[in-house]
């Protein structure tokens, strides 16, 4: 495992753990907004094109589930990299 940040396990020095976690929080927040906008934007696009409401709602749910899976994998990788 390649570790580029010297993060202390003893807690004696703060090192870079807090800024790294803050960065991950900002990135995840931006991803949340992006996936939410894509889901609702796609749903509105399909509704405007004359698609069924349930198809548009299914698209929004798909983006939400995809985001949840992506978020889980991203968090697992982020937590592993802080080890």
- The residue extents of the domains of the chain are 31-81
What is the pLDDT at residue 8?
Answer: 53
CB 3 within 8 A of CB 81: yes
Q: Is the pTM of this model over 0.95?
A: no
pLDDT at 11: 54
Taking only the tens place, the pLDDT of each residue in 8-18 is: 555 545 566 67
What pLDDT, on the 0 to 100 scale, is given for residue 58? 80
Average pLDDT over residues 56-73: 77
| Cβ-based neighbour number of residue 44 at 10 Å | 13
Give the per-residue pLDDT at 62: 82
């Amino acid at each position: 495992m390649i570790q580029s940040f010297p993060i202390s396990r003893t807690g004696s020095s703060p090192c870079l753990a807090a800024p790294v976690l803050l960065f991950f929080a900002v990135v995840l927040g931006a991803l949340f907004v992006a996936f939410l906008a894509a889901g609702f934007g796609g749903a509105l696009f399909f509704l405007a094109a004359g698609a069924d409401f349930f198809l548009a709602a299914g698209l929004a749910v798909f983006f939400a589930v995809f985001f949840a899976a992506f978020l889980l994998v991203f968090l697992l990788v982020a937590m592993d990299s802080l080890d």
